[in-house]
Chain A
Amino acid sequence: EVQLVESGGGLVQPGGSLRLSCAASGFTFSNYWMTWVRQAPGKGLEWVANIKQDGSEKYYVDSVKGRFTISRDNAKNSLYLQMNSLRAEDTAVYYCARGRGSYSLDYWGQGTLVTVSS
């Protein structure tokens, strides 16, 4: 059974940092693009970043470029999102998701809440 389990969310002050993790199991992690998607409270979904199977390609939404870094450790079946210089508008539930191919996301974690507030 495919499972994605996020962790690392919490309350952080503006300008602070957090590192999110996503532990994958039930599939060959190194064979898939992986993606972070966020959802602000009461709002819609927003793609944040994605990373190729070997980590050689990474893409980010404009609003997080230069502040967030996506990475992966295929030996640990883990996906990460390092978030620096956090802003109030980064407050959201962050989901990790598996890229199915054809630019769709077929498995999602349960999400981890990041709250940026003083």
Chain B
Amino acid sequence: QSALTQPPSASGSPGQSVTISCTGTSSDVGGYNYVSWYQQHPGKAPKLMIYEVSKRPSGVPDRFSGSKSGNTASLTVSGLQAEDEADYYCSSYAGSNIPYVFGTGTKVTVL
């Protein structure tokens, strides 16, 4: 099972929006509505931002939104803020033997 494909980097100015893609296959992203997104600041543990493609856990700002089309999922961060600068990882279910396949990660820079 290969890692899901994400762009290495993305950037935007404060207040702008940035969208990160996460491309898999019909065996993972395209086959299930179990895509999650995690934010990780340097030296810190990952934090769940989105689950089940587009749902936000309690406490996550509504500036974060998720979607999916076919084999590609996306995370959009609207109204970029300095604290959004971090690494972002997608994850998908790929069957009972492979419950979590992570993406390659995207570093988001707030210009």
User: A residues near B, CB below 8 A?
Assistant: 35, 37, 44-47, 50, 59, 61, 95, 100, 102-106, 108-111
CB proximity of B107 to chain A, nearest CB, Å: 11
The answer to whether B48 touches A35, judged by C-beta atoms less than 8 angstroms apart, is no
Whether A104 contacts B34 in the complex (CB less than 8 A), given A44-B3, A45-B46, comes out as yes
Q: Which of B67-111 contact A (CB under 8 A)?
A: 89, 91-93, 96-105
Whether A108 contacts B105 in the complex (CB less than 8 A), given A44-B3, A102-B34, comes out as no
The answer to whether A95 touches B99, judged by C-beta atoms less than 8 angstroms apart, is no
13 A-B contacts (beta carbon < 8 Å)? A37-B102, A44-B3, A47-B99, A59-B97, A95-B46, A100-B48, A100-B51, A103-B100, A104-B36, A104-B51, A104-B91, A106-B48, A108-B45
CB proximity of A71 to chain B, nearest CB, Å: 17
User: B residues near A, CB below 8 A?
Assistant: 3, 32, 34, 36, 38, 40, 44-48, 51-52, 57, 89, 91-93, 96-105
CB proximity of B55 to chain A, nearest CB, Å: 8
A39 to B3, CA, bound (A): 13
Across-interface contacts of B34 in A (CB, < 8 A): 102-104
Task: Look across to chain B and name the residue whose beta carbon is closest to the beta carbon of A95.
Answer: B45
Whether A103 contacts B93 in the complex (CB less than 8 A), given A44-B3, A44-B105, comes out as yes
